[in-house]
């Protein structure tokens, strides 16, 4: 029986009480799309094992990326810098890219991808582009504005739109785009609002927060639907790898079939998963399922 794909979602940094939190909107959007959300807190040392467990990823929003990581300058508005989260997510991104896992990068997540690949950020948008188009309201509240999407982009195909209103909650954005990335959406003031990686099977970064409006906006929800669908295809490939590992004859037939169609899978092979098999007694559980409890709703601290 086919299982729903497992979608890892990075959480915010530790709060003052040492707790990891995440807005429930991320979890709800993944569940509506048919995926199983799992929260991934910063500081995970077993990233290799983690990537063998999940089928797709969401890099969530949150605090600022340390400007020292992109040779930027300090600014009085930069807040909630967390070294553990920065280094953990950058390392995770580089591993995910090596395995071509489907990735949806939201707000800070887009910025992390860009920095991890050698790009830079605008430290404070009003200093560089003015405030004609507010990207957040003072002191740190969300707002809305229009964006334009490249018609030939994967993003436009998924959302079914080339212009839409988005929930914006940021004061930083991409300055220099990292090699291998492509701009596919912009705000009226020229701020980069979305990127794709053409060489990757499924990687989309958006500077806005689709999870905030996905429950009422089908176009935003389709981003999560598409991520889950791509992750399901990745899961199917992993299952094929697991079957082939147990039966070399199947592996030969599968390879011949793939070659005859001249359409090799875009997903990198990973360790075969023990689908449907019980976990070994005493094995550590390093991941926790996302909670539905509304009392755990976390307010976004900066985006």
- Active-site residue numbers? 107, 209, 211
**CA quadruple 231, 232, 237, 238: dihedral positive or negative?**
positive
Residue 54: its H or E element: none
19: tokens are: 């707790």
- Please provide residue 95's backbone torsions phi and psi, each rounded to the nearest 5 degrees: -70, -40
Determine the distance from the C-alpha atom of residue 173 to the mean position of all C-alpha atoms in its chain, rounded to a whole number: 16
d(CA 161, CA 149): 7
Q: Which of 136, 140, 184 is nearest to 162 (CA)?
A: 184
**CA quadruple 27, 278, 276, 272: dihedral positive or negative?**
positive
DSSP 12: P
Residue 130 and residue 192 in contact, taking contact as beta carbons nearer than 8 Å? no
91: tokens are: 């390392």
Cα angle for residues 23, 25, 31 (degrees, 5° grid):
125
d(CA 261, CA 282): 44
User: Which residues face 39 on adjacent strands?
Assistant: 9, 288
Residue 51 and residue 99 in contact, taking contact as beta carbons nearer than 8 Å? yes
Q: What's the first-to-final CA gap in the chain, in angstroms?
A: 39
Crossing angle for the helix pair 83-99 and 108-116, to the nearest 10 degrees: 70
Residue 181 and residue 119 in contact, taking contact as beta carbons nearer than 8 Å? yes
């Amino acid at each position: 029986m086919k299982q729903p794909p497992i979608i890892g979602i990075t959480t915010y940094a530790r709060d003052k009480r040492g707790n990891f939190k995440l807005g429930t909107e991320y979890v709800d959007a993944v569940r509506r799309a048919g995926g199983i959300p799992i929260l991934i807190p910063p500081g995970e040392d077993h990233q290799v094992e983690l990537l063998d467990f999940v089928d797709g990823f969401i890099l969530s929003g949150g605090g600022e990326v340390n400007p020292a990581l992109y040779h930027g300058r300090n600014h009085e508005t930069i807040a909630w810098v967390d070294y553990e989260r920065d280094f953990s997510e950058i390392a995770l991104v580089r591993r995910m890219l090596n395995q071509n896992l489907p990735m949806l990068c939201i707000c800070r997540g887009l910025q992390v991808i860009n920095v991890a690949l050698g790009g830079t950020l605008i430290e404070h948008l009003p200093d560089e582009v003015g405030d004609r188009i507010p990207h957040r309201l003072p002191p740190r509240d969300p707002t809305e504005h229009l964006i334009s999407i490249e018609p030939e982009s994967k993003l436009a195909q998924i959302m079914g739109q080339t212009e839409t209103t988005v929930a914006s909650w940021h004061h930083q954005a991409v300055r220099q785009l990292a090699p291998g990335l492509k701009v596919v959406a912009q705000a009226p003031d020229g701020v980069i609002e979305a990127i794709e990686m053409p060489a990757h099977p499924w990687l989309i970064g958006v500077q806005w927060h689709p999870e905030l409006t996905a429950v009422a906006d089908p176009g935003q929800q389709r981003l999560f639907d598409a991520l889950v669908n791509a992750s399901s295809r990745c899961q199917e490939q992993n299952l094929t790898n697991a079957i082939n590992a147990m039966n070399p004859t199947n592996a030969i037939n599968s390879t011949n079939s793939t070659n005859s169609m001249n359409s090799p899978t875009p997903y990198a092979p990973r360790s075969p998963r023990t689908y449907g098999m019980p976990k070994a007694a005493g094995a550590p559980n390093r991941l926790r399922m996302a909670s539905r409890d509304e009392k755990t709703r976390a307010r976004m601290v900066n985006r």
